[in-house]
Amino acid sequence: MNWFGNFYRSALGKKAVMAVTGVILFGWIFLHMVGNLKLYLGPVHLNEYAHFLRAMGSPAVPESFALWVSRIVLLVCVVLHIHAATVLTIMNREARPVGYRDRDYPSATYAARTMRWGGVIIALFVVYHLLHLTTGTVHPSFIKDDVYHNVVTGFRVWWVAAVYIIANLALGLHLYHGLWSMFASLGVTNARVSKWKRAFATTFAVVITAANVSFPLAVLSGLVR
């Protein structure tokens, strides 16, 4: 295990941890978005899907076991991703205490700043989102196991829909920059491959953002009721 500690202490190690945990989190966000598309098929389909998530693996394993394993993996990824990002930021500041203020690197610092603020917005959103649609703590008419009802009545409140839209736009930028810098960390710099990198990062970020933003908009516009 010590080799991992030594590796993680280096900047390269932290970037690798960010890339691996980022890919896992990205995979989750993609699957979550695909699952949520069932909103358009109606209450039976969406609620059945939510039930499947809890029943996954049973009766081989107790109900909710697989769900809890995936929750723990996600949580470990989130903690490592945020820890590596924070330490890398501190390392960068210490290596360059004067800052870029007088230098001509506007796009590099813009991307980095977006990543940090985007990360903070997404983290705050996930806490709100769990209290809203998973535990129902901040949902005014939460019904346990009626996911369709919770989503639709939740998004009928305009400012809740706005919170989801803003957070998912921030997530879209974060995914785009994140995928992009992951390729850079992995050393994929070949010009021909570079074109594909941009196309890949753009397509995934746009598809995920468009679908996620469409859910609150569909409810607000009355398309989904």
Q: Exactly one of 17, 19, 84, 147 binds ligand HEM (CB under 6 A); which one?
A: 147
Q: Exactly one of 164, 175, 182, 197 binds ligand HEM (CB under 6 A); which one?
A: 164
Q: For ligand HEM, give the closer residue by CB, 21 or 212.
A: 212
CB of 107 to ligand HEM, least distance (A): 25
Binding of ligand HEM by 181 (CB under 6 A): no
Q: Exactly one of 84, 122, 218, 219 binds ligand HEM (CB under 6 A); which one?
A: 122
Binding of ligand HEM by 109 (CB under 6 A): no
Q: For ligand HEM, give the closer residue by CB, 27 or 93.
A: 27
CB of 84 to ligand HEM, least distance (A): 17
Which residues, including other chains, have CB under 8 Å from residue 23's CB and lie 6 or more apart? Answer: 182
Q: For ligand HEM, give the closer residue by CB, 70 or 194.
A: 70
Segment 43-72, which members bind ligand HEM (CB under 6 A)? 50, 53, 71
Q: For ligand HEM, give the closer residue by CB, 90 or 166.
A: 166
Q: Which stretch binds ligand HEM (CB under 6 A): 5-13, 101-109, 175-183, 211-219?
A: 211-219
Q: What is the CA radius of gyration of the chain?
A: 20
A 10 A CB-CB count for 100 gives: 12
Q: How far apart are CA 74 and CA 23, in angstroms?
A: 11
CB of 134 to ligand HEM, least distance (A): 5
- The count of chain residues that interact with ligand HEM, using the rule CB under 6 A, is 20
Q: How does DSSP assign the chain, residue by residue? A: -HHHHHHHHSHHHHHHHHHHHHHHHHHHHHHHHHHHGGGGG-HHHHHHHHHHHHHTTTTTS-TTHHHHHHHHHHHHHHHHHHHHHHHHHHHHHHH-TT-STTSS-HHHHHHHHHHHHHHHHHHHHHHHHIIIIIS-TT-TT--TT-HHHHHHHHHTSHHHHHHHHHHHHHHHHHHHHHHHHHHHHTT---HHHHHHHHHHHHHHHHHHHHHHHHHHHHHHTTS--
CA dihedral in degrees (9, 11, 16, 19; nearest 10)? Answer: 120
Binding of ligand HEM by 129 (CB under 6 A): yes
CB of 5 to ligand HEM, least distance (A): 28
Question: Which residues here bind ligand HEM, judged by CB under 6 A?
Answer: 29, 32, 36, 50, 53, 71, 122, 126, 129-130, 133-134, 147, 151, 164, 168, 171, 212, 215-216
